[in-house]
Amino acid sequence: MDPDLVHDALQLACRAPSVHNTQPWRWLVGEQTLHLVADRSRAVPATDPDGRDLLLSCGAAVHHLGVALTGLGWAHRTHLLPNPSDTDHLAAVEVLAEREPDDADVALAAALTRRRTDRRRYSSWPVPAAYLDNLVQVAAREGALLVALEDPFDLRDLAAVAAEAAVDQERDPSYRREVAAWSGRSPGAEDGVTAAASPAAGTEHEMPNRRFPLGELRSPPTAPGERDASRVLLLATVRDTARDHLRAGAAASAVLLTATGMGLATCPLSQPLEVPLARRVLREGPLDDAAAPHLLLRVGFAPISAEPLPTSLRRPLAEVCRPLPGVSSTC
């Protein structure tokens, strides 16, 4: 493979969102294949004891890679969990022949560098139903179910469960130490959550954010009585295996990138799904016990007065990528 292609595609793949921006992945470069391997040294066991968030993060990264390759003009084929004897070998992406990207491919690839996690309040502009329908279809193409939560009782229960999940986690000293270790970073940090991207104390909205210490991000002022019209979307799969977690991460990537292309602000909310009780409430309520919940996504329009969000940096590619033995290609 052309080293420039490998470099550009992997740089874009590493823009994927990940729990606490831990970037828990490594890339191995073969002659015509790029391999994604879980980096367990960057796991956050107090936050993510089952490793679900790690797999969601890696699923998003492999989807980002596919979007990047397509946008750069290359067909590809992705194989999830290709090595039964190595469960940390999460994906192998074959780079096939050159192909001309269409306008939709280019637009989606452009969103790779524009997507941000916006933890602020959103505006009172409603999200059009056609936008939500499109996002549901996008998730379905990745093998996932996306449910726009409508029932006020479901939303009320979800907010209560999310708040309870936060309290449960924050009682754990190891969780508090872990969050502190991965947050409050300076603007030049290459991983973790920067203080500039974390909500300041007292900037809560209807659906609780994870609380990060030293947060500096404030929501724009709103008129008295103005309501945040963001929508909460629940991402799920029929089964609850490692493969499904990877597919859910890919679906999250597809939804977030598509929403960014629509001009929507987005924020993944993983905290409520990190607590077994909250997962059970969501499974038995909005999903009618028919699917496994994995992630909440909040989407809406940012207020006109909202300041642009800072770009969160990523680890240098040399730290996360190396060629397979005998392969001359570099990262």
Tell whether 158 and 278 lie within a shared domain: yes
Per-residue model confidence (pLDDT) at position 206: 66
How does the average pLDDT of the chain come out, rounded? Answer: 93
- Is 256 within the bounds of a domain? yes
pTM surpassing 0.85?
yes
Tell whether 27 and 52 lie within a shared domain: yes
Mean pLDDT of 6-16: 97
Tell whether 152 and 290 lie within a shared domain: yes
Residue closest to 25 by CA, chosen among 50, 42, 49 = 42
Between 156 and 258, the more confident residue is: 258
Tell whether 81 and 167 lie within a shared domain: no
pLDDT in tens, 282-327: 899 899 999 999 999 999 999 998 999 988 889 999 999 999 988 8
Q: How far apart are CA 257 and CA 13, in angstroms?
A: 12
Tell whether 210 and 267 lie within a shared domain: yes
Tell whether 9 and 145 lie within a shared domain: no
Which residues sit opposite 80 in a β-bridge? 91
DSSP sequence for 276-311: HHHHHHHHHTTTTTSSEEEEEEEEEPPPTTPPPPPP
Tell whether 90 and 203 lie within a shared domain: no
Per-residue model confidence (pLDDT) at position 303: 92
- Is 20 within the bounds of a domain? yes
- Is 268 within the bounds of a domain? yes
Tell whether 206 and 272 lie within a shared domain: yes
Per-residue model confidence (pLDDT) at position 204: 65
Per-residue model confidence (pLDDT) at position 202: 67
pLDDT in tens, 197-229: 998 876 666 666 788 888 899 888 876 667 899
> How would you class 203 by CB atoms within 10 Å of its CB: exposed for 0-12, middle for 13-18, buried for 19 or more?
middle
**CA distance to 24, 44, 57, 156, 278, per residue, from 275 (Å):** 21, 14, 18, 18, 5
Please check the confidence at residue 3 and state whether its pLDDT lies above 90: no
Distance of CA 182 to the CA centre of its chain: 16
Which residues sit opposite 132 in a β-bridge? none
Tell whether 74 and 162 lie within a shared domain: no
Q: How far apart are CA 110 and CA 325, in angstroms?
A: 33
pLDDT band at 86 (very low <50, low <70, confident <90, very high): very high
Instruction: Indicate which CATH number applies to the domain containing 276.
Output: 3.40.109.10
Mean pLDDT of 73-87: 97
> How would you class 11 by CB atoms within 10 Å of its CB: exposed for 0-12, middle for 13-18, buried for 19 or more?
middle
Task: Pick the most confident of 36-40, 168-172, 218-222.
Answer: 36-40
- Is 122 within the bounds of a domain? no
- Is 179 within the bounds of a domain? yes
Please check the confidence at residue 163 and state whether its pLDDT lies above 90: no
pLDDT in tens, 101-139: 999 999 999 999 999 999 999 999 999 999 999 999 999
Residues 6+ apart with CB under 8 A from 77: 93, 94, 96
pLDDT band at 153 (very low <50, low <70, confident <90, very high): confident
Tell whether 94 and 190 lie within a shared domain: no
Per-residue model confidence (pLDDT) at position 242: 98
The domain tally of the chain equals 2
- Is 181 within the bounds of a domain? yes
Q: How far apart are CA 51 and CA 274, in angstroms?
A: 10
Provide the residue type at 169 as one letter: Q
Per-residue model confidence (pLDDT) at position 221: 81
Furthest CA-CA distance within the chain: 65
Q: How far apart are CA 265 and CA 228, in angstroms?
A: 12
pLDDT band at 330 (very low <50, low <70, confident <90, very high): low
Per-residue model confidence (pLDDT) at position 230: 94
Tell whether 133 and 110 lie within a shared domain: no
Please check the confidence at residue 257 and state whether its pLDDT lies above 90: yes
Please check the confidence at residue 40 and state whether its pLDDT lies above 90: yes
Residue 260 DSSP label: H
Per-residue model confidence (pLDDT) at position 156: 84
DSSP sequence for 172-196: -HHHHHHHHHTEEE-TT-SSSEEGG
Q: How far apart are CA 149 and CA 77, in angstroms?
A: 33
What is the domain range of residue 159? 129-220+227-300
Tell whether 250 and 282 lie within a shared domain: yes
pLDDT band at 329 (very low <50, low <70, confident <90, very high): low
